Amino acid sequence: FPGVGPVVGARVLAEIGDDRSKFDDARGLKAFAGSAPITRASGKKTVITHRHIKNRRLAAAGSIWAMAALKSSPGARRHYDARRAKGDWLQEAKRHLFNKFLGQLHHCLQTGQTYDETHAFPPPLVLAA
């Protein structure tokens, strides 16, 4: 994975644990890490916030991971810049990128496949004239 060095990688894997059946799907892992958003709806109002109860060590490693990936992955940079252009603040865009990486990590751990940049962040489509 881009941006994961030996320290951040060890922290992420240590916090996730070695039991692959611990998280049935990527949503459980994302909620555990605190990167999955919380949507509350009441009547006509819908509010989307971030999780306060989470594994703080994993969330801190995720923030470092997301920032480091911006330098080494053009796809991650494109994704981050697109989120910022939509109006996300710095922490929101980093958390969204970390959320995406966690989904990819869960997939790789469950299927035994390696990370593929072109599959994770497909290049933008070019419109024909």
**What is the value of pTM for the model shown?**
0.87
- In the chain (129 residues long), the average pLDDT of successive 10-residue segments reads 94 90 91 89 87 90 96 95 95 94 94 93 78
| Residue 123 confidence (pLDDT) | 87
pLDDT at residue number 79: 95
Nearest to 64 by CA among 6, 121, 114: 6
Q: Give me the residue spans of the domains in the chain.
A: 6-117
In the numeric block, the tokens 């892992």 are attached to 29
Residue 128 is predicted with a pLDDT of 63
| Alpha carbon separation from 124 to 35, 74, 94, 117, 121 (Å, rounded) | 25, 11, 20, 13, 9
- Can you give the pLDDT at residue 125? 80
**Which residue in 103, 82, 102 sits closest to 93, CA to CA?**
82
